[in-house]
Amino acid sequence: MLLYFRLLSESFTFAMNALRNNKLRTLLSLLGVTIGIFSIIAVLTAVDSLDRKIKADLSALDKNTIYLTSVSFGPTDVPEWKREQFPKMKFEEYQFLKSDLQHAENFCFQLFVGRQSIKHDNKTTEDLNMVPVTNEFADIQKLEFESGRFFNESESNSGNTVVIIGFEVAKTLFDDADPIGQNVRIYGKRFTVIGVLKKQGNNFNPGDSNDTSAFLPSNFIRKTFGDNNDAMLPVVVIKPEKGVDMEELKAEIRQKLRNMRGLRAEDIDNFFINVLAGLTDMIDGIIGILNMGGWIISGFSLLVGGFGIANIMFVSVKERTNLIGIQKSLGAKNRFILFQFLFEAVILSFFGGAIGIFLVWIISMALTKMLDFEFVLGLGNILLGSGLSIAIGLVSGIIPAISASRLDPVEAIRTGM
């Protein structure tokens, strides 16, 4: 065991000497490994951080939440021309399902509409995400409030001019003043602010971040612009009861809505039952594709890095041929020479990988401070990068190490003289 510790120590010394004595050559050789490890770990870190953020944002929603609407959230076999003929969801259908559907914990009617500006005195916030909904939305989304409240059922049904604003909206319009009870102008009407949401940060919920959103009663939009406005997409949001059989619930929804719309047995559904779990599965698929793309792109850099390590090891064998002959003449075994050069290749490759991982960490820290998004270099990716660099060193160094271990001591000494 002591012999191998000595071997490792000597290999580390040789590797450091190679770095010091041939700085430019070593730098160019390690550059491929550094770029390759940096590329793959940077991609994996970005994708993992995005995946973590998506799951954190969607954790407030039940994965079984159903979005009943005239468009599909994912791929569909229904041709586009037929989908364009589908009728939009109606408020009456929301009311019917709410009163007649079993095994559903909560319902909400939501309108997807265009972005608007909000004004208060001489201050204006542009291009804000407007969220017209019924009062149940706060329970389905589990909204958290900095101050105030969400509108109640009476205000929702009446379409009162009340609004809940996001944290950034409140900060922009009111600075440090209390927004509750203040008036703002939306759609040319005066609205009263009754609630401010807690800061959320960038998110991946359906829609925009709550920080730059405004929530108002959907019945106000219906009364103002009517139900047949092409610029609006109505959605019925259904939160199932815990433990319910999702297939049975979807079948019940399908049957009741088909009966209400008078569809015949041979007619296809003219609506889509979108389950949030399907959206998360699609997101997982996209993340998998991004990871695969990162591996493919980075693989070329890793391949170049491997050739660079192999090149520097062949040169190192050539330069130390005389020393190898002396070691063998003094009784060094073939495996001692083999492990010596193999350890050196691994150490050199590990240095390149460590530099790549360090660069990812530095850039992650910088981007986290610059952007409202947390990039996290996880332990798993650090271990993966380290393992990859070690593997590259092993694969790249094995042939030069074998060639060094098989040198004839007499010929090796003569060559170096």
pLDDT of residue 207: 45
Is there a contact between 328 and 416 (Cβ–Cβ < 8 Å)? no
Chain segment 357-369, per-residue pLDDT in tens:
999 899 888 888 8
Cα angle 284-289-295, degrees, rounded to a multiple of 5: 125
Work out the angle at residue 363's Cα, subtended by the Cα atoms of residues 359 and 369, and round it to the nearest 5 degrees. Answer: 150
The two tokens of residue 32 are 């491929």
Per-residue pLDDT, 204: 46
- d(CA 39, CA 381) in angstroms, rounded, equals 12
DSSP character string of 190-252: EEEEEEEEPP--S--SSSS-GGGEEEEEHHHHHHHH-S--TT-EEEEEEEEPTT--HHHHHHH
In the chain, domain spans: 2-57+287-416, 102-240
Q: Are the C-beta atoms of 407 and 328 separated by less than 8 Å? A: yes
CA–CA gap between residue 114 and residue 100 (Å, rounded)? 32
DSSP string across 254-282: HHHHHHHHT--TTSPPSSEEEEHHHHHHH
CA distances from 367 to 46, 209, 360 (A): 11, 19, 10
Low-confidence spans in the chain with pLDDT less than 50 = 204-207
